[in-house]
Amino acid sequence: MSKKTALTWIAGATLALSMIVGGCSTESTNTAAGTSKNNSSGELTTFSYFVFDPGDNVPEHTKIGDMIEQKTGVKIKYERLVGEKEQKVGVMIAGGDYPDLINTSETVKFEDANALIPLEDLIEQHAPNIKRIYGPYWERLKAADGHIYALPQVAPTGTPIKGISAAFWIQKEVLKDAGYPKITTFDQYVDVLRAYYKKYPQIDGADTIPFEILTYDNRNFTLTTAMQFLAGGPNDSRAIVDPVANKLAFYQTDENVTKRYYAKLHEMYREGMIDKEAFVMNYEQYLAKLSSGRVLGMFDQKWQFQTALDSLKQQGKANRMFVPLQLTFDDSIQPDYLDVPSMNYNMGFSITINAKDPVAAIKYADYMASEEGQLLRNWGVAGEDYTVSETGRFYRNQEQRDFFADPKNGLKTTGNILWYWPGSSGTMADGNSYQQYQQPEEIAAGYDEMDSELLKAYGVTTYEELFDGPNLARKYFPLWSIELTEKNKVFNQKLNDINKKYPPQMVVAKNADDFEKYWNEYVALVEKLDIQGWLDELTTKVKDRQENW
């Protein structure tokens, strides 16, 4: 047998085998779908819905879930992510074994694998509510090939919400002790922390940590991107965007931005103001330190340390909880901390090619997006899960709040999963907020005496008012949601690796000379990468969004 024929033979045999294996897997999904579509009892259609987010297993029956099931005649079997997201995506696509519906941030990968069905015609014909909510963003939802494959979590409507996430945080106690000063620059912030640290070197018997930094794994962005906020940029990524001139500036090697920040941190470290263990601890240790109440301040996104806040509250250490500040390098810089209300495109709810009845699926999603559906899944049943005041305002009484403070009760009521359906954010026509936790009454109910005192001292009623509104000229926002080519994804990963190693070295450097040495090494390494190629791609894509959205 010549080499060539041997090769063809092997290729043929392997192909045949792969087809057998592949055939097995498709067959098994067919039978699964067959049993799930059990029409004998009351015409109940069942869809499997895979949510690419870890969380508690969703119970088969929940209060709200069952109510929606009765109204729509559709049952949803939820499955949540266990383990690594990228791996699960890869396995799912390689096996072609898709659930009926998915909710993922990796939509592009599924698109490339032709795993999703276009939604625009389905929506036009069967989903008036979705069309109403997502209509204003129709063009933006379209993928590169002009089809809509995914509906992002929520679309902004009415008065947009103002949510604080990224900020420099400071303990309430520190502010109180300093007499509620107005803090606008990073230097002032450090001075306030230092003064408190000098006065109280220990808190509850343990050493005070004036400034904490989280650098574990991919969470090290709290160290490597904090300076863009100080320089007046929003939560983009590694470039500061000028939305008017449509110009991108790579600030990671900028002496006036990044070096300035690291140099300041270096000084603070030498002074003992930064946790010695900042660069060796893991995420759990970070949360434990914040929960102990001895950390005075840090830069972080609120969702990363929410559990620490909850823990402080539970321990009765509300005075050690954190308050957000919008800081800049100096007062001439306009702070830009709040996210432009927008959607994360290229992610969210999708229907896969395996869904047997896409019309029923989109109709169900449309019910979830209707006013009735949204009220049910966000607020619950009037009188049971929330109360309506005489003036028509929604709120929860204390009993209801206590009930939902326990996530187990949320699991029984909604399965803690219903927000993974298309819907709205912001305010309804009657002025109530769609999301219960965005309702001003509910935000205010979360404040304690110390909060009220603090807010009164600054002359505002909510913390959100302390922040400048988002810059609406940033139509492209956010930069990090732009899908890059493979080459530039590798650029990102390489920069991640450099960023993982060098900034901590600079902060803990033995002296100023050492710091300079590490800074120069860092810059030299970063400049070896193709920054221009990365910027060029982003500039084109930002321009495209700015002009067409």
Partner 1 sequence: MSVTVERVKEHTQIQKRPRKWSKLRSQKALMIMSIPFLVYVIIFAYVPLYGWMMAFQNYKLGSVMVENEWVGLANFRELFQDENFIRVIRNTLAMSLINLVFGFVSSIGLALMLNEVRKVMFKRVVQTVSYLPHFLSWVVAANLIMNVLSIDGAVNKLLVSLHIIKEPIMWLSEQHYFWWIIGASNVWKEIGWSAIIYLAAMTTIDPSLYEAASIDGAGRFRKIRHITLPGIRGIIVILLIMNIGHILDAGFEQQYLLQTPMVVDFSETIDIFVLKYGINLSRFSFATAAGIFKTVISVVLLLAANRMAKRMGQERLF
Nearest to 61 by CA among 360, 415, 361: 415
Q: Is residue 490 involved in binding partner 1 (CB under 8 A)?
A: yes
Q: Which is nearer to partner 1, 249 or 498 (CB)?
A: 498
| Type of residue at 317 | K
Among 43, 390, 486, 513, binds partner 1 (CB under 8 A): 486
Which residue in 198, 276, 330, 547 binds partner 1 (CB under 8 A)?
276
- From the list 36-44, 396-404, 417-425, 496-504, the region that binds partner 1 by CB under 8 A is 496-504
3-state secondary structure (DSSP) of residue 429: coil
- Shortest CB 496 distance to partner 1, Å: 8
Tell whether residue 17 is a contact of partner 1 (CB under 8 A): yes
- DSSP assignments along 474-532, one per residue: -TT--GGGSPPPHHHHHHHHHHHHHHHHHHHHHHT-SSHHHHHHHHHHHHHHHHHS-HH
- Work out whether 112 is an interface residue with partner 1 (CB under 8 A): yes
User: Of 432 and 499, which has the nearer Cβ to partner 1?
Assistant: 499
75 to 94, contacts with partner 1 by CB under 8 A? 86-87, 90, 93-94
Which C-beta is closer to partner 1: that of 238 or that of 396?
A: 238
Is-cis flag, bond preceding 478, omega within 30? yes
Whether 222 contacts 215, CB under 8 Å: yes
Stretch of 154-162, 370-378, 411-419, 495-503 lying at the interface with partner 1 (CB under 8 A): 495-503
- Of 288 and 460, nearer to partner 1 (C-beta) is 288
Contacting range for partner 1; rule: CB under 8 A; set: 43-51, 212-220, 230-238, 334-342: 212-220
- Range 350-361 burial, b when 16+ CB lie within 10 A, else e: bbbebbeebebb
Measuring CA to CA, how many Å separate 366 from each of 8, 123, 142, 204? Answer: 51, 8, 19, 53
By beta-carbon proximity to partner 1, the closer residue of 14 and 30 is 14
| Closer of 86 and 402 to partner 1 (Cβ) | 86
Minimum CB separation of residue 149 from partner 1 in Å reads: 14
CA 278 to CA 548: how far, in whole Å?
43
Cα–Cα dist 272/286, whole Å = 18
Does residue 96 belong to the site contacting partner 1 (CB under 8 A)? yes
Q: Which of 401, 500, 517, 541 binds partner 1 (CB under 8 A)?
A: 500
Distances (CA, A) of 525 to 454, 521, 529: 45, 6, 7
Nearer to partner 1, 323 or 495 (CB): 495
| Residue 26 in the binding site for partner 1 (CB under 8 A) | no
Angle at 444 between CA 320 and CA 411, to 5 degrees: 85
Among 56, 66, 277, 544, binds partner 1 (CB under 8 A): 277
Q: How far apart are alpha carbons 368 and 157 in whole angstroms?
A: 16
**Part in contact with partner 1 (CB under 8 A); list of ranges 152-160, 242-250, 276-284, 398-406:** 276-284
CA distance 1 to 150: 52
Instruction: Count CA within 13 A, CB hemisphere, residue 41.
Output: 6
Judged by CB under 8 A, the residue of 33, 44, 81, 113 near partner 1 is 113
Q: Which is nearer to partner 1, 448 or 497 (CB)?
A: 497
Handedness of CA 53, 59, 60, 65 (dihedral sign): negative
Closest distance of CB 213 from partner 1, Å: 10
Closer CB to partner 1, 282 or 306, in the complex: 282
Region from 120-128, 313-321, 471-479, 497-505 binding partner 1, contact rule CB under 8 A: 497-505
As a dihedral over the C-alpha atoms of residue 121, residue 125, residue 126, residue 129, rounded to 10 degrees, the angle is 90
**Choice between 32 and 529, CB closer to partner 1:** 529
Q: If binding is defined by CB under 8 A, does position 18 make contact with partner 1?
A: yes
Contact 178, 196 (CB under 8 A): yes
- The reply to whether 204 sits near partner 1 by the rule CB under 8 A is no
Strand 295-301 with 166-171, pairing: antiparallel
Per DSSP, what are the bridge partners of residue 45? Answer: 74
Closer to partner 1 by CB, 295 or 325: give it: 295
What's the min distance (Å) between Cβ of 87 and partner 1? Answer: 7
* Contact between residue 267 and residue 211 where contact means Cβ atoms under 8 Å apart: no
**Contact map string, positions 427 to 466, toward partner 1, x by CB under 8 A:** ----------------------------------------
Cα–Cα distance measured from residue 541 to residue 257, given in angstroms and rounded to the nearest whole number: 24
CA distance 78 to 58: 6
Regarding beta strands 154-157 and 423-426, do their DSSP bridges make them parallel or antiparallel, or are they unpaired?
parallel
118 binds partner 1 (CB under 8 A): no
Any contact of residue 517 with partner 1 (CB under 8 A)?
A: no
Tell me the number of residues near partner 1 by CB under 8 A: 39
| Minimal distance, residue 303 CB to partner 1, in Å | 21
Interface residues toward partner 1, by CB under 8 A: 11, 14-15, 17-18, 21, 86-87, 90, 93-94, 96, 109, 112-115, 215-216, 220, 276-277, 279-282, 284-285, 486, 489-490, 493, 497, 500-501, 503-505, 508
